[in-house]
Amino acid sequence: MPLRQPLSSWVWGVRLTDESTGTAVGFVTVDGDHRLVRFRGGRHTLSLVHAGPARTVTIEATGSRVCVGDLWLGPIAPSPAGPA
């Protein structure tokens, strides 16, 4: 899927929320940066780091049905502190 606005060359965080019917092996690709990932059954969040420009993101899975509910690509920053 093409991004609304291309991102320049930098170190970017990629985060997606997925729900899978079972364990599935797949790939998350950002502008040719091809990463092997494992989707686990149920709902989970997957985080990756991508270095370089970003214009497109492709998500592929084999073995089980995987639905992506949310995809975020942007600057890496620490998560705000929450309740312990």
Which amino acid belongs to residue 83?
P
Q: Given this model, what pLDDT does residue 6 score?
A: 74
Contacts of 79 (CB under 8 A, 6+ apart): none
| This prediction's pTM | 0.80
CATH number of 2-75: 2.60.120.260
Average pLDDT per consecutive 10 residues, the chain (84 residues; last block may be shorter): 75 92 94 94 93 92 90 81 58
Q: Given this model, what pLDDT does residue 79 score?
A: 65
Q: Given this model, what pLDDT does residue 68 score?
A: 93
Q: Given this model, what pLDDT does residue 4 score?
A: 73
Q: Among the residues of the chain, which ranges form H helices?
A: none
Per the DSSP assignment, residues forming a β-bridge with 38 are 25
Domain limits of the chain?
2-75
Q: Given this model, what pLDDT does residue 82 score?
A: 57
Q: Given this model, what pLDDT does residue 25 score?
A: 94
